[in-house]
């Protein structure tokens, strides 16, 4: 079980990662809004702009998914369930949480779930 100091460290780490993602999303939205504002667009410019917007939106989706993971991890810290595997109920190793602070499964359960998904 994680002690209060460890929980606080993970919380700070998660909040910092969340801040970075929000800044990145803000930057991408600004860039997306500025596309095509540099003069009269021709067909090539419009195609390039559409492609760029689609790329920015897909990056934005990945960031949104990561934000959800972070928010869920922060909720688990508040609820007192952070660091507990949602599959088996055992503690998630500190090494795994250091690598992936949003982890909801221990290594064994994650491996087992991935094998099940591969089998279809």
Residues 6+ apart with CB under 8 A from 104: 72, 76, 85, 86
Could you tell me how far CA 33 lies from the centroid of its own chain?
23
- Whole-number Cα distances in Å, 103 to 47, 51, 86, 88, 106: 39, 33, 10, 13, 8
The phi and psi torsions of 91 (rounded to 5 degrees) equal -65, 140
The residues that bridge with 84 in the sheet, in sequence order, are 91
The confidence band for 60, taking pLDDT boundaries of 50, 70 and 90, is confident
What is the distance between the alpha carbons of residues 13 and 86, in angstroms, rounded to a whole number? 21
pLDDT score of 37: 56
pLDDT reading at 105 higher than 90:
yes
Residue that has been written with the tokens 């390039």 in this structure: 48
Q: Which of 32, 106, 21 is nearest to 70 (CA)?
A: 21
pLDDT digits (tens, 9 = 90+) for 20-47: 988 887 887 777 666 555 555 555 555 6
Over range 55-70, report the average pLDDT.
Answer: 80
């Amino acid at each position: 079980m994680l002690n209060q100091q460890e929980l606080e460290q993970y919380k700070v780490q998660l909040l910092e990662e969340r801040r970075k993602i929000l800044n990145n999303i803000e930057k991408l939205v600004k860039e997306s809004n500025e596309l095509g504002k540099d003069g009269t667009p021709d067909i090539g410019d419009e195609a390039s702009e559409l492609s760029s917007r689609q790329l920015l939106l897909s990056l934005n989706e990945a960031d949104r998914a990561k934000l959800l993971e972070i928010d869920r991890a922060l909720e688990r810290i508040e609820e007192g369930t952070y660091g507990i595997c949602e599959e088996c109920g055992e503690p998630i190793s500190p090494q795994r949480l250091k690598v992936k602070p949003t982890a909801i499964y221990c290594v064994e359960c994650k491996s087992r779930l991935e094998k099940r998904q591969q089998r279809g």
